Amino acid sequence: MKIVTRHSWLSLGAVCAVCALSTLAISAFSVRKPATAAADARTIFNRQCASCHGRDGRGRTRKGRQTRARDMTDASWQDDVSDERLFNSISNGRGKMPAFRQKISENDIDALVAYVRRLRR
Ligand code: HEC
């Protein structure tokens, strides 16, 4: 009987340790996420979008000219378009731009919308 009791205390202790560790892991993850989002968006943009849009968003690349990518730094265009439209264009494609919803998560598309906003000059 005694052994069983001690054993159950031990396993309770083990479960608590697992809980504490996963709580720590989860909080570390959620605290870190916003900090990395901006850097991630730039990395994704430079890898997947800059071939057409250019790193500066002006679309002055060979592929940008071929596909007629607009100048995304243009302030009056930025004023005209909603975040929702940018999100949908990136997800579903627009004109000669391919859809990215299969390749990029919704969170990352959100981060890309914010990144595109920062290209405004
Ligand atoms: C194959 C070339 C190409 C690639 C790669 C590409 N785009 Fe585009 N993009 C275009 C073209 C063409 C348009 C449509 C014309 C325009 O509005 O610039 C466009 C439009 C847009 C728009 C404006 C949409 C609107 O509603 O007016 C945004 C924002 C955008 N792209 C972001 C991105 C992001 C973010 C990526 C990378 C995940 C990306 N694009 C990758 C060619 C491309």
The mean pLDDT values, 10 residues at a time, for the chain of 121 residues are 59 60 56 61 97 98 98 98 98 98 96 97 95
Q: How far is the CA of 85 from the centre of ligand 1 (A)?
A: 12
* Length of the chain counted residue by residue: 121
Ligand 1 pocket, residues with Cβ under 6 angstroms: 45, 48-49, 51-53, 63, 67-70, 81, 85-86, 89-90, 94-97, 100, 104, 112, 116
In three-state secondary structure terms, 97 is strand
Distance, CA 36 to ligand 1 centroid (Å)? 23
CB-based burial label for 16 (10 Å; 0-12, 13-18, 19+): exposed
Q: Is the pTM of this model over 0.75?
A: yes
